[in-house]
Amino acid sequence: MTNDPLERRLSLAKDLSSVTVGRHFVRDTLVEWQLAALIEDAELGASELVANAVRHAGTDLVLSIRADAEIVVTIEDGRRELCRPLSPATASLVDHGRGLSIVAAISQDWGIRATPHGKAVWFTLARPGSDDKDHDADIFEMHPGHGVSDPRVTGQARKTADRTKPGDRRECSESAI
């Protein structure tokens, strides 16, 4: 593998079959890039993000995977609303919405950022052989983006925080993400 970053993108329909299509896309891409050790976590995280987007965004989607110093898996949708996940106490009262907790548990980092046409939810995985293998990003911890306190950046976004554009921000279930 060269030092140049690799990236693949896949357009997906707003249909539950996109979860399976996205999972296969991630698997096939990582096999081709000789990163098979990451397949299990990457497939699980991508499946959770695609399922959330299909269920709640109601728009077509774009799934991307990028391999550089780390692996970044991103799902983009056309829904502009950015929400902070519910607190653990509130989340325990609902019968769904565990997907981002799963993503946080398997990833090094994850977050949400505004895009020109909606939002992107992403997570990172350490490359095999890297020194940074800590999992279990904190789903409820908020971090500033680029030195500016920005409550619209959600997740453990220490290294890859993206500042979002001004807009409404409210707490809601992850199902609205």
Residue 79, SS3 per DSSP: coil
How are strands ordered across the β-sheet holding 6-12? 6-12, 61-67, 70-77, 118-126, 109-115
pTM for this model (two decimals)? 0.72
Domains of the chain by start residue, with CATH? 6-176 (3.30.565.10)
pLDDT of residue 87: 53
pLDDT in tens, the chain (177 residues): 446 689 999 999 999 999 999 999 999 999 999 999 999 999 999 999 999 999 888 899 999 999 999 999 999 999 887 766 555 555 554 545 567 888 888 999 998 888 999 999 999 999 988 765 555 455 444 333 322 233 344 444 433 333 333 333 334 444 444
| Stretch (H or E) spanning 76 | strand 70-77
